[in-house]
Chain A
Amino acid sequence: MDREPPQRSSRRTVLKAGLAVGAAQLAGPFIISARGEEPVKIGLDNPLTGTYAAVGKNELIGCQYAVEQINAKGGILGRHVELLVEDSTSGDSSTAVQKARKLIDRDKVNFLVGNVNSALAVAMAGVAYEKGVFMMDPGGHTDAITGTGCHWNVFRICNTTQTEANAVAATLVKDYGKKFYYITPDYAFGHTLEAGMIKAVAALGGSRAGGALTPLGTTDFSSYLIAAEAAKPDVIIFLVQGDDQVNALKQAVQFGLEKRVHLAGAQGELEPLEGLPPEARIGTWVFEWYWNQPGVPHVAEFVAAIKKKTGRVPTARTWFGFAGTWSCALAANGAKSLEAVKMAKFLQGYHLPPEVALMPDGAFFRAGQNQLIPDLFVGHAQASGSAPDDLFKVTQVVKGVDVAGTLEETGCKMTWPA
């Protein structure tokens, strides 16, 4: 039944072995032999697939453009800058963590950048803190990153959800009334956002008329919208994001709700507005950066450059990536070192130069929290504007210092390495 096991290696085995050895040469890593000067490496660990692929790619474009500029202006400490990109996926924190480790341990990056998804950003911050690597979070909003879970080496460009809520609440209470109804996605992020909004509104004398928790991925919002109208609020706040936001707003417009109640939300972005039909581009929102800022120096050049690169205007995400990457370079050049502690110390209270800040009042990293305090742009979505991409009308530029709360309120207690 059984044949004898092969006793000697045949010609074929030798050929196969040769082939395997050959393939191993190809598949092997690119071991860089000493080249005089190693490039400075920035590791981007951000979503390129899944729900956040679109916003993740916009951040990537911002990072790439910043790296081009940095290299054109002499690099970091005179060395060439290289951007390494890894796909973190949109929701799988273990992949994000694995990629962060890979960038730090194998590729020896000097800076870790990411992540759009707050949960992934928190997980990455854990790795960066463990390894003592300088990390920049361009667009993960959860308060904890520069709040109760802050670390000396983790910096952030985008605002906290509380800051955004504070920025939009003032306008809403002043212009539209004090009774608010909330349509909130039913998971941790939504709950935090609603709590922040309630706190901000209460501080201004407003109250909560009611609220509905909607499961993630809801397509039919009609029952929630009817309940919302029945509660007779002055304002309905939509805290749902992404596709849910698109569905909710479309249906609100079909109901003609916007004619009877004011509709608003906290964080607004250009990407979902582009996905909405013109008649559903309604409501008051806060943008963290907007491309149409007439008269603000350097903004037009930035917009033109990104348009040339991609054919589209930059969004807040593009700016997050751009400002985040530039901040890394500025920190290293300012500290004259690539040591994380020295760079982090240098950025305490550091004001970004106007060609990076790209906003009327500039932006700075608040000392003791590592949070960028920029301007915020409150306004309303519009069906059409001065240009096809002009879907948002800024009515008020809010200074970050006025709405970011105090350092004590953020709950950040930073301990520096000895």
Chain B
Amino acid sequence: MKRLPVNRLSSRTSSAIIWIVLLTLPLWMRAVGSYTELGTQVVVLALAAMALNFLLGFTGTLSFGHAAYFGLGAYGAAMTIKYLVPSTPLAILVGMAAGTIAAMIIGALIVKLRGVYFAMVTIAFGQVFYFITFRWNTVTGGDDGLSGWHRIPLNLGFTTIDIEHDGKAFYYFVLLCFALSVGVMAFLLRSPFGRTLLAIRENERRARFLGIPIERHLWLSFVISCLFASVAGALYALLNNFTDPRALYWGQSGNFVIMAVLGGMRSFWGPLIGAAIFVVLQDYVSSHTENWMSFVGLFFVLVVLFFPRGVLGIIRRRTMR
């Protein structure tokens, strides 16, 4: 019982530290020899990994197909700007809707499956979307990807924020979307609904005996998780001013899982740390050797072998001792 206040305090301090780092990132990123877009990329992929972790870490269900919803978000946003309306917020909403609606349908079909079967069916459905984007050349641009569009400056009525050319402005725009998303996720996890998800994770049979409608909760958790994954996808497309079928490929889903596990899937902020390590490591090592993927892989193997609770798990254990 004594642990609780300490724990809450440490989680509050760690949240504060994380927000301070994220808010000041563009100010010192360049000074340490990096660049703003790398920070934006970390935040976007962190959102995707945290969205996945809503399902993986807090509901105890592994999805290997989250790239599909990430990619649908990306294509939804890209195609809105390219074919419909040149508006960045609308693009994000359409991308979000595309990913969420797909997740609602797919989710309803698969919630009865468990464990590895659930994971495999998510891959299968993910690949369906991948092949649609890969083959439907006239609409999605096929393997060449969807280019020839760019994010549109935000028009707030009284002023215009140029997120198109100003990298820092776009970073803060992404950070705002990130804050809203993780805020909602944190709120949900603290609500009775979130506690129920934890109960399902810990002991599904027991939760069922308590009268909890497991399937409905799993479905909701899957849909919420995919909703934020598609927001991340939409932001990713806006970051690159480009998207291609690789965003939906199952390898991308694997990257999200790696980020979540690397950082620590039992903690709320774990996937953010995982995404930061993954992106920065990839960025740094790949400039020095063409065998950079072996190093990223090796690092992942080491973390899984020696620190199964992820990087944040190590830190937590230290502070709690």
Contacts and interface: CB of A to CB of B under 8 A. Distances in A.
B244 A123 contact: yes
B160 interface: no
A123 B242 contact: yes
Nearest to B244: A93
A23 B16 CA distance: 26
A239 to B, nearest CB: 14
A86 B33 contact: no
A187 B3 contact: no
Interface in A86-128: 86-87, 91-95, 97-99, 101-102, 105-106, 118-119, 122-123, 126-127
A31 B148 CA distance: 36
A97 B240 contact: yes
B240 A87 contact: no
B41 A49 contact: no
Interface stretch (B135-143, B176-184, B265-273): B135-143
B240 A106 contact: no
B290 A49 contact: yes
B23 interface: no
A11 interface: no
B134 interface: yes
Interface in B24-58: 30, 32-38, 41
A153 interface: no
Contacts of B41: 98
A98 B284 CA distance: 12
A188 interface: yes
Contact of A105 (B36, B148, B321): B36
B202 interface: no
A301 interface: no
Given A98-B38, A142-B144, A126 B150 contact: yes
A175 interface: no
A108 to B, nearest CB: 10
B286 A94 contact: no
Interface residues of B, number: 44
Nearest to B318: A6
Given A2-B2, A187-B143, A188-B141, A106 B35 contact: yes
A123 B3 contact: no
Contacts of A49: 290-291, 293
Nearest to B247: A94
Interface in B214-266: 236, 240-242, 244, 246-247
A187 B147 CA distance: 17
Interface in A331-379: none
B308 interface: no
Interface of A: 1-3, 5-6, 28-31, 48-49, 86-87, 91-95, 97-99, 101-102, 105-106, 118-119, 122-123, 126-127, 130, 142, 144, 149, 186-189, 191
Given A29-B32, A130-B165, A149-B148, 20 more contacts: A1-B3, A49-B293, A87-B290, A87-B292, A93-B242, A93-B246, A94-B247, A98-B41, A99-B286, A101-B35, A102-B283, A105-B35, A106-B30, A123-B244, A126-B150, A126-B240, A130-B241, A187-B134, A187-B143, A189-B144
22 contacts: A2-B320, A28-B32, A29-B34, A31-B33, A49-B290, A87-B286, A91-B246, A93-B145, A93-B240, A98-B37, A98-B41, A98-B283, A102-B38, A105-B37, A106-B35, A119-B143, A122-B242, A123-B244, A127-B241, A186-B135, A187-B142, A189-B143
